[in-house]
Amino acid sequence: MLEQDQNWVKYENIKDHFIHSIAKNMTLYGITPSIGRLYGALYFSNKPMTLDDMGKELAMSKTSMSTGVRTLTEMKMVEPVFRRGVRKDLYETEKDWYKSFTALFSKQWKSATETNIEEAEEALIELGKIYAETTDEELKERIQLDISRLNYAQEYYEWLLRFVEAVETGAIYELVPKTAKKE
């Protein structure tokens, strides 16, 4: 019986280690470690969980759980689940990590890229005005160089938007299949 208990402890430690790894790496997507741990706990749960269940599992407040679930739901990483006869809201993770990544990646990168395009356009307009007004040849040369740099940046951002579109539409999986071919 003692060996069985030790195996359960090892099992829990391995699972906890992986959940910690998920939580740590989710910061790359702008997700706090506590929300990452919440996601990990939901992912390894054998059944949908209520906010109370999550709070007990992670020793966090119901408010923190609610905020975390809302964040994960908005990112399409967690979804509500209906169970007949259960009054409390139940949640489980989206099983398709590719779908979750696509939603998260697309939203963040598209927003940042569109902002950068707008900023580059505004800079081009303002530099154009200065160029038209100045007689300083050195300043005109600098402005021309910077306009060239901004045009290059815009080309990159347009490419990035096409890349995001390829992720959103699933076309990316034609280039990079979800599973590697076994040789």
Phi, psi of 78 (to 5 degrees): -135, 145
Tens digits of per-residue pLDDT, 37-77?
Answer: 999 999 999 899 999 899 888 888 888 889 999 999 988 88
Strand partners, 93: 78
User: Could you give the CA distance from residue 79 to residue 174 in angstroms, rounded to a whole number?
Assistant: 27
The position carrying tokens 């890349």 is 163
pLDDT tens readout for residues 81-109: 988 888 889 999 988 888 888 887 788 88
Query: Does residue 149 carry a pLDDT above 90?
Result: yes
CA distances from residue 68 to 16, 64, 83, 133 in whole angstroms, order as listed: 18, 6, 21, 53
Average pLDDT for residues 114-139, to the nearest whole number? 96
Which 3 state secondary structure label does DSSP give 80? strand
